[in-house]
Amino acid sequence: MALSGKLTKKLVENLGAGRHGDGNGLYLVVDPSGARRWIVRMVVKGQKNKKGAPLRTDFGLGGADIVTINQARERALEYRRMAKQGLTPRFNARQEVPTFEEVAQQVHIDRMPTWKNAKHGQQWINTLRDYAFPKIGRMPIDSVDQPEVMMCLAPIWTEKH
């Protein structure tokens, strides 16, 4: 079953900074730096704010460069189903450990606004793409330790800045 909303692939690629709704609580958040990520805003059954009203919470679905609009819609639907049962998607959605590359991509998206310019952010992720992802990118993040980091750094330690 194809899910649909207000946004199109072309809009996802071209919208300016802001929070753009697709419907059913799904939003594309575009940072001033141009970084794009999907979130779903919803209420988890049974959760209340300090005043006793239902607590609205945003849950990240991933960067728009990795997660397509249809994948975001499917994940949002899955998260809403979980929330309706009283399950918090943040704690129950993923049972496997994310890979080093998945975590690095998310950190890149989260840190983009903190760099002086987009070029610095791109250099950061490009360095990981060139030197770390081929060696440890598919490893579960909890398996990456000092020997794995050294495996990436040793060949370039005296050659690169």
**Which is higher by pLDDT, 3 or 140?**
140
pLDDT digits (tens, 9 = 90+) for 31-43: 999 999 999 999 8
Q: What pLDDT, on the 0 to 100 scale, is given for residue 1?
A: 43
pLDDT at 115: 83
Q: How far apart are CA 108 and CA 144, in angstroms?
A: 18
- DSSP letters spanning 77-126: HHHHHHHHTT--HHHHS--SPPBHHHHHHHHHHHHGGGSSSHHHHHHHHH
Q: What angle do CA 23, 35, 72 make, to 5 degrees?
A: 35
pLDDT at 160: 81
| pLDDT at residue 53 in the model | 87
d(CA 75, CA 153): 36
Mean of pLDDT over the chain: 87
Cα–Cα nearest to 104, from 145, 135, 141? 141
Cβ–Cβ under 8 Å, residues 48 and 70? no
Please, which pLDDT band fits residue 3 given cuts at 50, 70 and 90?
A: low
Express each pLDDT in 47-99 by its tens digit.
Answer: 888 888 888 888 889 899 899 999 999 999 988 888 888 877 766 544 567 88
pLDDT for residue 131: 93
pLDDT of residue 4: 66
